[in-house]
Amino acid sequence: MDELVEMANWFGWKSPYNPAVVDSLPTPSFKAKGRSQLSFSTNNYLGIAASPRLKAAAIRGIEKYGVGNSDSRLLGGNLALYGELERKLARIIGKDHAILFATGYLANIGALSTLPRVGSVARAFGFTSKRDYSYAYFSDEYNHVSIREGMRLSGARRYSYRHLDLDHLEHLLRRAAESCKIIVTDGVFSQDGDIAPIPELLQLAERFNAMLYIDDAHGAGVLGASGGGVLDHFQVASDRIVYMATLSKAYGSIGGFVVAHGLVTEALRMMSPAYGFTATLPPDQAMIISTAIDVVVDEPERRRRLWENQRYFVKRMAPLDFRLVSTETAIVPVWLGEDSKTQALAAAIRAEGIHVDAIGFPAVSLRSGRLRIQMNAGHRREEIDRLVDILERNQHLASPRRRAPAARLNGKRHPAVRVPAPARVEAPFMAAK
């Protein structure tokens, strides 16, 4: 308690961050203190969370099962609908096996902390391996905190490579003595909005007999011709890939899942405390998620509107003095640098009824502040124009233009990352499989 009291006195018994209380959730419009607002910082990219189809699924689920599942799926809580949902999630990625977690954060904690420890747990049941195995993680420095926490809990050796620097990753893979290597990356990086070079990462995984773990929280449901995420975007597949994604962003619900070879998912099912030692998703949420998957497939116009809005915003921002960190995804961060400028610009925008997230340390490095602009299928052109107009009037806060650090592959700017072409909406991914 002594340290907590000392910190509280230093902060003046005030929270360093006090989030605003809202009356409704962004769709992207919402209300706060009775006032209408418009969000450019919601993860509800497709507006699915307020879909009538999802609301109807929630009502059906509550009427049939009640409001919660009080048991672990390893005990009395394993309703058949969870297995059906896992098979449906696996099909999105073109696989046969998936495992569902209560949240995306738990999925990363559970999977990454468990993979290097499966053998240790099995030895408690009498298993004896033919040789000693040692594990190491190779993680992009910008990976989400849930990834870092999961790796730390595993006890395995951890290597960090510079953001999207495949030369540095290759150097680390070559020098590492561990026998089991796991490359870990976000699919879409949440604070920068850039896309990981999945095909080249997979090539490195093949060369060094490694696994490739992908957290596609901000790509699932959004990227790819039919919303299948980064694997759909790049059209890659491999048994080396462990694919993880959340269900609380584009899919508008709650939960996380891992799709992988059946040996991986079943090992996690039996060995991961984050799966077996906790209650699972409420049944109504499982029914909502199943419906959300159908909405993504059945209503491609949502993705089409999202990418039309993204391209329009990028085009409108081009003449302004602001530097855009990335223009590849629905996350289009506006660089400010100093936190004071970031907070000042966010306040100016909020004063005119538009909410944007001001991102600063420790979410990003010191003096790397930015507004995380997240485009949405529900934005109208005139609303985007309003935001750009406010930014134009506040250009005095812009940092001098400079090129963002280029991702590098064999000494050259990374060639694989490309802007999605959402106008090309093809046959549904699941139907094709």
Q: Is 64 a known active-site residue?
A: no
- Please tell me which residue in 190, 226, 272, 326 is annotated as part of the active site: 190
Active site residue 190: yes
pTM here is 0.90
**Marked catalytic residue, from 168, 249, 379, 414:** 249
Burial class, 158, CB count within 10 angstroms (exposed 0-12 / middle 13-18 / buried 19+)? middle
Q: CA torsion angle for 229, 235, 237, 243 (degrees, to 10)? A: -10
- Encoding tokens for residue 19? 């989030």
Q: DSSP string covering 222-239, please?
A: TSSTTS--HHHHHT---T
Which domains, and CATH codes, for the chain?
24-50+300-402 (3.90.1150.10), 68-298 (3.40.640.10)
Nearest to 378 by CA among 146, 56, 51, 33: 51
Catalytic residue among 181, 218, 341, 414: 218
- Taking only the tens of pLDDT, the chain with its 433 residues reads 889 888 888 888 777 777 778 889 999 999 988 899 999 999 999 999 999 999 999 999 999 999 999 899 999 999 999 999 999 999 999 999 999 999 999 999 999 999 999 888 777 777 888 888 999 999 999 999 999 999 999 999 999 999 999 999 999 999 999 999 999 999 999 999 999 999 999 999 999 999 999 999 999 999 999 899 999 999 999 999 999 999 999 999 999 999 999 999 999 999 999 999 999 999 999 999 999 999 999 999 999 999 999 999 999 999 999 999 999 999 999 999 998 999 999 999 999 999 999 998 888 888 899 999 999 999 999 999 999 999 999 999 887 654 444 444 433 334 333 333 333 332 332 333 3
| CA atoms within a 13 Å half-sphere pointing along the CA-CB vector of 368 | 12
Task: Note whether 92 and 228 are within 8 A (CB).
Answer: yes
218 is catalytic: yes
